[in-house]
Amino acid sequence: MAKINQYQDISQIEREAKKDYIDRHSPFIHCEDKAKKGEKFKVKVKMGNEYTHPDDFDHYIKYIQLWSGETLLAQTTFPPGTLGNKGGHAEVDFYIVPTKNNLKLTAMAYCTKHGLWQSEVKEVTAE
């Protein structure tokens, strides 16, 4: 199994020293805390918060996935050059339909040079 990189796995000292590296590889989930069961719910996943990621032929974000626990909800794949061969924030809006009362959303993203990265868990209550 591939090593999964997580923001919290890195010590505070290393975080500060490698802030740009960590930020540009970390997926961030943006959505409301509550959803309506059975209705479309928008979840945005954005790569990086402050720093942009390269978009080179051999170094780019290949895919972003959205999980709820162990269930894959959605995935998008990017070919190299999606961002015009310039650094940027790869992002995607997923529209999911909650069927359970609670979602524990996690985003996973794969960098072709630096491997698999996981977001922090975002809990959503569906009523």
Asked whether residue 3 carries a pLDDT value surpassing 90, the answer given is no
Q: Alpha-carbon distance 6 to 26, whole Å?
A: 8
Domain interval for residue 23? 4-126
Taking 3-state DSSP, the helix, strand and coil percentages for the chain, each rounded to the nearest 5, stand at 15, 45, 40
Q: What is the CATH number of the domain that holds 122?
A: 2.60.40.730
Give me the number of domains the chain comprises: 1
Beta pairing class for 41-47 and 91-96: antiparallel
What's the confidence (pLDDT) of residue 38?
94
Helix (H) or strand (E) holding 16: helix 12-17
Per residue in 4-44, pLDDT tens?
776 555 556 566 667 788 889 999 999 999 999 999 999 99
Q: Alpha-carbon distance 30 to 103, whole Å?
A: 14
Percent of the chain with pLDDT over 90: 70
Burial per residue of 77-111, b for 16 or more beta-carbon CB atoms within 10 angstroms, e otherwise: ebebeebeeeebbbbbebebebeeeebebbbbbbb
CA-nearest of 83, 125, 77, 118 to 102 is 125
More confidently predicted of 13 and 86: 86
Q: Alpha-carbon distance 3 to 89, whole Å?
A: 23
